[in-house]
Amino acid sequence: MHGVMQNVKHLCERKRSKMWANEGWKKVVVCIVSDGRMKINSRTLSTIAAMGAYQEGIAKNMVNNKPVTAHIYEYTTQISVTPNMRIEGAERGTMPCQIIFCLKEKNQKKINSHRWFFSAFGRVLEPNVCVLLDVGTRPGPTSIYHLWKAFDINSNVGGACGEIVADRGKLGVNLLNPLVAAQNFEYKMSNILDKPLESVFGYITVLPGAFSAYRYIALQNDSTGEGPLQKYFLGEKMHGADADIFTANMYLAEDRILCWELVSKLGGSWTLHYVKSSYAVTDVPDQVPELVSQRRRWLNGSFFAAIHSTVKFAYIYRSSHSIVRKAWIHVELFYQTYNLLFSWFSLGNYYIAFVILTQSMEDLGPGAIKVLNTILNYFYLGMLVMCYLLSLGNRPQGSKVGYTMAFVGFALITIYMTFAAFFMAVRSIQTISAEKQGALTFGDFFTNTLFANVIISIASTLGLYIVSSLLFLEPYHMVTSFLQYLLLAPSYINVLNVYAFANVHDVSWGTKGDNKVSKDLGVVATGKDGATVEAAVPTDQKDINAAYEDAMAVLSSKPPVIDQKRDAATKQEDYYRSFRTK
């Protein structure tokens, strides 16, 4: 929230802007939608209370025997709570900020929260640009302005996103964790290679839900009720018996569906844009079980959504894009189809590369090396089988040791493969040099099939990473994160893919069991006229000050250490599953 307040301050500091300047804060409304009153963190409530946008003792569970769906608070604040839990007000240059806080009574997941924003608040506010920001994601001080500017410059831009940056911690201390470092490299290369290329075509396959922006009018449905939002909100009901397995998995990547429906909208010519100057910092999984669980939804959702956009590619012809734009999107279709096929065969391709590289080492000593290669081959296949067994029957949180062993094992295999690749390169060059009389030319290297198929492909990939990073003037991740990514890359292929496709039946986004009506807040009834309600609310200044002091007391104290231990029932279930797997 402090990052949002910094962005509002920046908008008001643009004195020469006709849109913003001193009164710019009046054109910004921050809508906070909290998914479930019983789920919200108490420190989050204290932060919003300290800002004045939440007050205890007002909300009720039922009105006239009808359950309350959400509690809505509205306030214009000039207080910002920093990450260090310090209060900054007008004396530090904090500008006023209009806040709508919607505290949903039940936990009904992300798409329902977006329905509240787009279908409830959006119809009243009628915004021009909507910026979506997830919990745990902190925008840069000027990021929202740069996102808005993309819409202001080009009226055909229907959606935009900035760079998602992994939280590296103070002085990059989080990069000491190999998982965080690998994800940092993954995010960086995606923002250097994928997003700019897709932005040129006009269709970005996914605008990250953690930090993205949409033109409100572009999302609206047509007169028949068909449109991007209608397709997007279908995902709220697509995680149970109401949907087939393909559709349910497809809607795990609901943001990809929204992007495709926006670009291919009937009669529209909306494009999606990547804004490099805009960024947001987000926390990433730092433990193996968390990473495996997160990527299960990402991989399954993106795979089935990619199939959907490929099969439904004819939708692009119903849009009003120019012939040139449609031609570029056709090029991107072929590119995405190739990526889809490559990802499907990635597990087999990696094993083939492993066999080729290890067999090349047998020239060193046919006896000992062949025995070592045989052992490693069985070790590779054994870990793959172990991943299948764990994926079919065990939760990642209940098999932390097994999945961690798989990550470490594939990392050791990568080290051996890297050594084999260098050995193959040296031996191939020696062979080519012996066969060639005179000086070697670049074309001579292609005469050796093994060298051309393996070494040049590896070198070109590494060279692409280095050159593109230097062109973007961001080579630091190559130093701090490339080695970790190299070691964990086979686990992305063998562990995460196996778990994802072995659990394609798991489309759990539902809210089963969240049907009870709580009565801890009390109930109220209307008067005889049926329109007025009498409810006791704190109005005395002492009570209000006391509530503020309570909120500050919570924020000033250290957050309690959350016990990550499993409860007895879950622990027992994990034990039985582990016994069955073994």
The helix (run of H) or strand (run of E) holding residue 88 is strand 87-88
The answer for residues whose C-beta is within 8 angstroms of residue 30's C-beta and 6 or more apart is 4, 8, 97, 98, 99, 100
- Environment class of residue 220 by beta-carbon count within 10 Å: exposed (0-12), middle (13-18) or buried (19+)? middle
DSSP characters over 267-293: T---EEEEEEEEEEEE----SHHHHHH
- Strand 29-34 and strand 97-104: the pairing is parallel
Question: Is 417 within 8 Å of 357 (Cβ atoms)?
Answer: yes
Cβ-based neighbour number of residue 566 at 10 Å: 14
Question: Is 510 within 8 Å of 239 (Cβ atoms)?
Answer: yes
- Environment class of residue 53 by beta-carbon count within 10 Å: exposed (0-12), middle (13-18) or buried (19+)? buried
Catalytic residues: 255
**What is the rounded distance in angstroms from the CA atom of residue 570 to the CA atom of residue 582?**
18
- Strand 211-215 and strand 157-166: the pairing is antiparallel
Question: Is 145 within 8 Å of 28 (Cβ atoms)?
Answer: no
**What is the rounded distance in angstroms from the CA atom of residue 24 to the CA atom of residue 11?**
6
**What is the rounded distance in angstroms from the CA atom of residue 399 to the CA atom of residue 105?**
34
List phi, psi (to 5°) of 25: -65, -25
The helix (run of H) or strand (run of E) holding residue 45 is helix 42-50
Question: Is 296 within 8 Å of 506 (Cβ atoms)?
Answer: yes
Task: Fill in the DSSP letter of residue 165.
Answer: E
Closest CA to 97 of 157, 165, 186, 7: 7
Written as tens digits, the pLDDT of the chain (582 aa) is 899 999 999 999 998 888 998 889 999 999 999 988 888 888 888 888 888 888 887 778 887 778 888 999 999 999 898 888 888 888 888 999 999 999 998 888 888 999 999 999 999 999 999 999 998 899 999 999 999 999 999 999 999 999 999 999 888 899 999 999 999 999 999 999 999 999 999 999 999 989 999 999 999 998 888 999 999 998 887 655 567 788 888 888 889 999 999 999 999 999 999 999 999 999 999 999 999 999 999 999 999 999 999 999 999 999 999 999 999 999 999 999 999 999 999 999 999 989 988 888 777 666 788 899 999 999 999 999 999 999 988 888 888 899 999 999 999 999 999 888 888 777 777 777 777 766 666 666 666 676 666 777 777 888 889 999 999 999 999 999 999 999 999 999 999 999 999 999 887 653 444 545 565 566 666 666 666 666 666 656 656 677 777 777 777 777 776 666 666 666 666 655 665 666
Closest CA to 83 of 546, 547, 559, 553: 559
Q: Which two tokens stand for residue 409?
A: 């094992």
Q: Which two tokens stand for residue 298?
A: 């990402």
Percent helix, strand, coil in the chain (nearest 5)? 60, 10, 30
Torsion region of 473: left, alpha or beta (phi above 0 gives left; psi -120 to 50 gives alpha): left
CA distances from 65 to 37, 513, 522, 525 (A): 19, 21, 11, 8
Model pTM? Answer: 0.87
Torsion region of 280: left, alpha or beta (phi above 0 gives left; psi -120 to 50 gives alpha): beta
**What is the rounded distance in angstroms from the CA atom of residue 206 to the CA atom of residue 301?**
11
Which pLDDT value is given to residue 510?
39
Cβ-based neighbour number of residue 246 at 10 Å: 12
**What is the rounded distance in angstroms from the CA atom of residue 103 to the CA atom of residue 113?**
10
CA distances from 554 to 86, 102, 548, 557, 559 (A): 12, 21, 10, 5, 8
